[in-house]
Structure 1
């Protein structure tokens, strides 16, 4: 039943900005060379299995509105197989190179740890076949340690060590599956690694358990020979009141505390950045600064509410600023852009899945072209460099010399009778450069 779901759709192709075909890319020309690299290699785009193929279109006030063939009835072995087939076929129709999954997204429901492992193993066997059939790759895998009621108080931060051990089993199997499937990264998404109330929470114990868990994952990565990157996905809250991986800066502090800053990077999500009161480009700039930019979940929120709405990206200006930070960081190595986004509850047709992804792909591609144009123009980068240029001079060098004391710097100011002059930050000029970019 899944094999025929997308049968009426042709593979999406690039037709240029003047195309009127709603099933064509206007800006995503995968073979176009931008700053010395093919666009496909810059962006490394992926489709997620969870929102696109698992979510039935439900919300807290109503049942699912979608009528996908694999949603009908229980999530048994046949339904799970159908869902996997549809997922890889869809990624091929979009002509995107990657997909991403949680373990429970791709397997049939199972009770008990033995049955769970068996069901997941069967799914991995099938995914291996489908990757070869459709010519697609795995950007990253992850284990779901948040949906099952056993994880109501978290996975790695759960007060019950038996829950922690069950989670370790899931992560062990999913990390090994990611390695087998040629995945480029492995993500630890801490969906409930936080607290709802401090009244019943021992924060220090939970953080130490979380740090121990992550160290064990890194050790296992090296033990099995997985050469991909381990990623943490920052998120401030929702569903918990507060999550320990609040944002990129707090994640980096956590990694430093537990000796993981050279082993683990971040998978940044646009919607999580705004939930934390930041801009998307702020989180990317922080990750670039700390050297931990790994991968990105591409989506957006709705500024009229505080929920993680996971909508498809559609702001070219936002993605211009985001791509500027990615390019400044040197671009991706293992990472890429994963569409952690879902069509709206009223978008019930198969074609809506295409429209959402096509629009998101073109938005990101256009952001890349605009950011590249700004870098090639050089005006903004030259201004930023000149603004901090004096730090390469005698005073800046002296300040950072290990033998310099606070008194030395203060004495320098007195001796040279310093009278710093104000210099414009030219914010409006910088913003005009972004607004006037032609691509």
Structure 2
């Protein structure tokens, strides 16, 4: 609205100036585009300064979050001061960029207006000369000056809007980068293979997935019968965790299909899939809330169900000893729990969700041998007749499986039972041949 009013004011004043004395009116009208062009050149520099300021804020916020998340480990390693100095340096950079943007944009605005004022003074001198050498009267000259001053305010308004536009445009670039991110696909819920079934089979057909140019999964074919327990092993970085993300629909494969109960994910819908497929990760996400809320995630469950799930996860004794038991706060990311307790809490959460398909991604890596053995014993009854995919490095977890798939460089290179794979002397034998159960 301000731009519209300013434009109409400048246009109307220009028409009057041209009608009063077209030579002088043409002089000032030709000078205006030169001022605007110079303003645009300066404004582009202001835009770059704003971009640098936003980038500095982004870096600082990222570093601040990472440092606070890892503050206990940094203090334990006696590197707290080093990272705090880095944060202070980032904060200074933000301050310097902000100050630089403020004074330079203000200076640019004033410089543009000074340039326009110079044009006005040039115009006034030309008008006085015109009075001497033409029939322009002094009264008419002052009338032109009056209209010229009337034009100054809207022109200044338009110059200020240019700088506001350049600054906003630079800030908007960050928002546009977020808006350009692709949303996950929204598949229609056409079929529900989990309805009236205790469990379903899981099949992957020719799955290809890459991060940009880096190919991670290169034609994966994998099949789990309903109720079967299958382990996936391999060297770190082979794509095992990526495979889990593809199954859950977090990543969309470039080629191939994921089927549950013979039905493609595209016909099941991701909400239905994730409601019936439970995943326990090596580093589970926990909230600064009570044990109860971290178990239920907002679902309505009875205390008896919670204690039963905790018992299966070998965590009932620990929670019973807490000051407020199920209503005890566990801190941000479960900071008041040990690594093994966090994993067992995630396993209890999985048990509580009563899934049809279970994926255990290094779910017991932080447990001691005795606790892990007892946990596997108690989980055995729960996982019976549930399709289970185990991603693991520990031999004790791998030997729970009916079959084992071996990942190597994005391919499945071996398949079979533990003893068969040891006899083949392949990658599996290199990983587990010298270990004891």
TM-score in terms of structure 2 length: 0.26
Higher helix proportion:
2
Q: Which has the larger radius of gyration?
A: 2
